[in-house]
């Protein structure tokens, strides 16, 4: 046995510490890569000159399954669109008669105001001030048929419209 080929104990310890650090970094990177964050397919970050707000990013391609849930509760924080201030609030007795329009297919797969992904086949709606998420009964005044929708987005911002609804509503 030759003693001059042996590593000193401090060199072995520093190699061992470096190897442990390398493993810890690799595990952290692998874990971060497995997180549930959605990949942004299209940023959609163009400013709408009429409303002064940015379009939400598209996170699901057309034809792909839309995951459910993932939204957050939103009440009370004022916001502005087209120079008008809206204040979301709880209003349990809220009732309004007016026009509802449906979301165009361009909104499918985009993030809603509360962070969920809009699915045009769901029973979803947008309202400028109702708490997110909340539920509302929508009634067709021509045939008296009603259904319950999940309000998870903001809008519409047209003076004559009360609510935007998904195609299935």
CATH number at residue 63: 2.40.40.10
Looking at residue 96, its pLDDT comes to: 94
Q: Based on the structure, what is the number of domains in the chain?
A: 1
Predicted confidence at residue 6, as pLDDT, reads: 44
- Cβ within 8 Å of residue 104, ≥6 positions away: none
pLDDT at 49: 66
Give the range of the structural domain holding residue 100, as residue numbers without chain letter.
38-169
pLDDT of residue 30: 45
The HSE-up count of residue 30 (CA atoms within 13 Å, CB side) is 6
Pair 150, 86: CB distance under 8 Å: no
Whole-angstrom distance, CA of residue 74 vs CA of residue 87: 11
Residue 57 CB-half CA count within 13 A: 8
For residues 166 and 125, the answer to whether their CB atoms sit within 8 Å is yes
How high is the pLDDT of residue 37?
46
Q: How far apart are CA 10 and CA 140, in angstroms?
A: 79
pLDDT value of residue 158? 83
Longest Cα pair distance anywhere in the chain, in angstroms? 98
The answer to the question of residue 25 being in a domain is no
Query: Looking at residue 14, what is its pLDDT?
Result: 53
- For residue 45, what pLDDT is reported? 59
Residue 32 lies in a domain: no
**Strand segments (E) across 29-128:** 47-48, 53-54, 79-81, 84-86, 99-102, 124-126
The answer to the question of residue 14 being in a domain is no
Residue 97 in domain: yes
DSSP state of 76: S
pLDDT at 16: 62
Question: Distance (Å, rounded) from C-alpha 14 to C-alpha 88?
Answer: 58
The reply to whether 3 falls in a domain is: no
For residue 15, being part of any structural domain is answered with no
Averages of pLDDT over runs of 10 residues in the chain (169 residues) are 44 55 48 45 57 65 72 82 93 92 85 90 94 94 94 90 92
């Amino acid at each position: 046995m030759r003693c001059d080929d042996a590593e000193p104990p401090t060199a072995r310890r520093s190699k061992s510490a470096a190897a442990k650090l390398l493993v810890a970094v690799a595990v952290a990177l692998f874990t971060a890569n497995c997180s549930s964050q959605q990949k942004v397919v299209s940023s959609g970050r163009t400013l709408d000159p009429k409303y002064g707000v940015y379009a939400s990013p598209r996170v699901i391609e057309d034809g792909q399954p839309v995951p459910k849930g993932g939204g957050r509760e939103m009440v009370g924080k004022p916001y502005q669109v087209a120079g008008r201030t809206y204040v979301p609030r709880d209003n349990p007795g809220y009732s309004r008669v007016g026009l509802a329009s449906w979301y165009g297919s361009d909104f499918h797969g985009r993030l809603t105001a509360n962070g969920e992904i809009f699915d045009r086949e769901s029973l979803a709606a947008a309202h400028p001030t109702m708490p997110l998420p909340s539920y509302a009964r929508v009634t067709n005044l021509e045939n008296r048929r009603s259904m319950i929708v999940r309000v998870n987005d903001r809008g519409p911002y047209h003076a004559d419209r009360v609510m935007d609804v998904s195609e299935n509503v």
